[in-house]
């Protein structure tokens, strides 16, 4: 699968992955799991780009289990980062529409997109090869949402 859209976001990703690893060292178990999951999902995109991995494999490897656990446990996703996304958190113009969102709302959208991709895959014989949905655009949107959440968590208080 062509992942050219990911090229511009790969270089700053290395620093974000390092930050998320440090940030996941917390006593709040659910927060730790969610941050680790975000880091691991971003690593899926990073390695998929490096190795030209198929969308089916990427979708299979993306995880939202920690988010589900957080929802079941009534985790306050604002613990990831209090406040709302401001223009200085945004490094990709496509994410300007998320100004004013909080970490809970953005996490919910990430969870929703992962679920949608899995459903589309299941509905079509466990592959997205011949679907009418624009899977590259959906994966791109998911990646840039996850990157925004990481940038927001990392950004100034």
Rg of the chain, C-alpha, whole Å = 15
Extents of the domains making up the chain = 4-154
CA 129 to chain centre: 22
**Cβ proximity of 80 and 36 under 8 Å:** no
**Residue among 58, 63, 60, 8 at smallest CA distance from 35:** 63
Dihedral of CA atoms 13, 54, 2, 112 in degrees, nearest 10, equals: -60
The per-residue pLDDT string of the chain (157 residues; one tens digit each, 9 = 90 and over) reads: 556 655 555 566 777 777 777 776 666 889 999 999 999 999 999 999 889 999 999 999 999 999 999 999 999 999 999 999 999 999 989 999 999 999 999 999 999 999 999 999 999 999 999 999 999 999 999 999 999 999 999 987 6
The pTM (predicted TM-score) of the whole model is 0.85
CA 98 to chain centre: 14
Among 95, 105, 36, 98, CA closest to 64: 36
């Amino acid at each position: 699968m062509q992942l050219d859209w990911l090229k511009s976001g790969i270089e700053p990703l290395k620093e974000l992955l390092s930050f998320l690893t440090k940030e996941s060292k917390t006593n709040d178990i659910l927060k730790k799991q969610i941050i680790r999951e975000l880091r691991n999902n971003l690593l899926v995109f990073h390695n998929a780009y490096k190795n030209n991995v198929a969308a089916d494999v990427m979708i299979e490897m993306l995880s939202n289990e920690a988010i589900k656990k957080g929802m079941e446990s009534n985790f306050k996703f604002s613990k990831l980062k209090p406040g709302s996304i401001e223009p200085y958190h945004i490094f990709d113009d496509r994410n300007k529409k998320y100004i004013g969102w909080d970490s809970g709302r953005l996490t919910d959208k990430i969870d929703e997109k992962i679920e949608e991709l899995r459903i589309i895959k299941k509905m079509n014989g466990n592959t997205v090869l011949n679907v009418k949905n624009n899977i590259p655009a959906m994966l791109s949107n998911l990646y840039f949402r996850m990157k925004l959440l990481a940038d927001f968590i990392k950004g100034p208080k």
